[in-house]
Amino acid sequence: MRRYLVAGNWKLNKGPAAGAELAQAVSNLLQGRELKGDVLVCPPYVSIPAVSAVAAGNPVMTGAQNCADQNEGAYTGEVSPSMLKEAGARYVIVAHSERREYQRETDDSFVAKINLIHQAGLKAIFCYGEKLEERKAGQAQAVVKAQLEGVLPRLESADAYNTVLAYEPVWAIGTGETATPEQAQEIHAYSRQVVGDLLGATVAEHMRILYGGSCKPGNARELIGLPDVDGGLIGGATLKAEDFVGIIDGAEAANG
Ligand code: PGA
């Protein structure tokens, strides 16, 4: 049985004060509840300490949205995984489609980042997913396979404990358009098969694969209830405590 993970990607929203307030509101709504899965929020770097302070002792963990591909040195503006760990992060998102597109990040840097994340004792959430034109051209599986093959076999110590995958079809991110349950299950099952080929059947069976792209309280239960979907990586809907907890409720119901 894979434990679900519901992760909020706050993107460029919520500075330290607003972030702590949102984390507190989520904590309050979850007060006294025993969850069957894991809950994570990923604020901007500068908000990680404040959010982690609120989250200490409750079921909400803190993560980062990115990290450097170096651990220290003359890399102006960068933040390393070990620093993120010291600030309170437990997970780091890598290879989000917005970073692939706006920062032109490539497989080499994803590999370097994830290896450092693992060396720091943190868990990586590796994002991948096809664009609309690629899906329309019938290339969704081929793109997903290439993205997984470009990174997973090159990781030094990836396992189902320290690595989480997040399938995020680019056409569904922030658009209000969600993958249908059939589309999501198809790619998730296919991804698990590819992971099996690359890292072995046991890792594939235990590795969590999250769905991301316009996930909200109204569709969370159905999506997270799919056989190969083990949670969600959610942007917009996690900026309101009630909606985020609504998605957690969906994950709880799906795992009931
Ligand atoms: P969205 O973003 O939930 O706002 O579509 C998902 C993501 O980018 O991780």
On whether the CB atoms of residues 229 and 211 are closer than 8 A, the answer is yes
One-letter amino acid identity for 43?
P
Q: 73 exposed, middle or buried (CB, 10 Å; 0-12, 13-18, 19+)? A: exposed
Structure-token match 């963990």, residue found: 61
- pLDDT at position 256: 80
Triad 191, 39, 36: Cα angle to 5°: 85
Indicate if 168 belongs to the active site: yes
- Show the tokens assigned to 90: 């437990």
Structural domains of the chain, ranges and CATH numbers in brackets: 5-254 (3.20.20.70)
Confidence of residue 50 (pLDDT cuts 50, 70, 90): very high
For residue 4, give both structure tokens. 């679900």
H-helix or E-strand spanning residue 128: strand 123-128
Q: Which of 105, 134, 168, 252 is catalytic?
A: 168
* Top mutation candidate among 5, 6, 9 for ligand 1, by most atoms within 8 Å of CB: 9
With a Cβ cut-off of 6 Å, ligand 1 is lined by 9, 168, 173-174, 212-215, 233-237
* pLDDT tens sequence across 177-220: 899 999 999 999 999 999 999 999 999 999 999 999 999 999 99
pLDDT value of position 59: 87
List Cα–Cα distances, 26 to 31, 53, 128, 135, 248, in angstroms: 9, 14, 27, 36, 10
pLDDT over 80 (residue 26): yes
pLDDT digits (tens, 9 = 90+) for 70-79: 999 999 999 9
Q: pLDDT > 70: what percent of the chain?
A: 100
pLDDT of 1 reads 82
Q: Over the stretch 101-152, which tens digit does the pLDDT of each residue have? A: 999 999 999 999 999 999 999 999 999 999 999 999 999 999 999 999 999 9
